[in-house]
Amino acid sequence: MATRVADLAVPPDRIMVDTNVLLAATDEGRLEHHDALTILNVWPAGDTTLCVSGQILREYLAVATRPAVRNGLGLKTPDALGNVGAIRERTTLLVTERLLGLLADVECGGRQVHDANVIATMLAHGVGTVVTMNLDDFARFGGYVNVLRLLPSGPLSPAGCLLLNERSRDG
């Protein structure tokens, strides 16, 4: 059963923020922009620790500096690096060695290895929930972590996330 983040009595203690949420926070034209900013600016002021991995920051830089005509944001590198600095001020950077074990347990390959690395990083550091706009990328890992999908908010709902599988509330 899916639960909107706005309906959670208590947000997760620790949460992995996926690249697309960071991109939505940067791109004012995205429907999820306001809610992504809320996650980055409001949640850390409470009891939620936002986490990212080196991979997520690399993916952010790759898309942020890619030309807009090639599905990027078209930012200049110094601007994108400034954004990464601001992201780092709000997040905890995680590192993992658990990827190979996860790949042995969950069938995936190609670009899916990147998503497996995000999950392995989370598992190695006790992060139980990922927030993303790409549900399909993380659905195969539902037995390991909770997956929150960032959705555009309606006029009555300031937080546009759904909890797609609820394993625990520990984060």
3-163: CATH, from 1.10.10.1800, 3.40.50.2300, 1.10.3720.10, 3.40.50.1010 = 3.40.50.1010
Amino acid at 12: P
What residue spans define the domains of the chain?
3-163
Residue with tokens 């005509």: 69
Pick from 8, 18, 72, 68: nearest CA to 40: 18
Note the pLDDT tens digit of each residue in 123-157. Answer: 989 999 999 999 899 999 999 999 998 887 765 55
DSSP 49-60: EEEEEHHHHHHH
- Kindly give the parts of the chain with pLDDT less than 70: 1-10, 96-97, 154-171
Whether the pTM exceeds 0.75: the reply is no
Cα distances (Å, whole numbers) of residue 139 to 14, 17, 75, 90, 143: 19, 16, 31, 26, 9
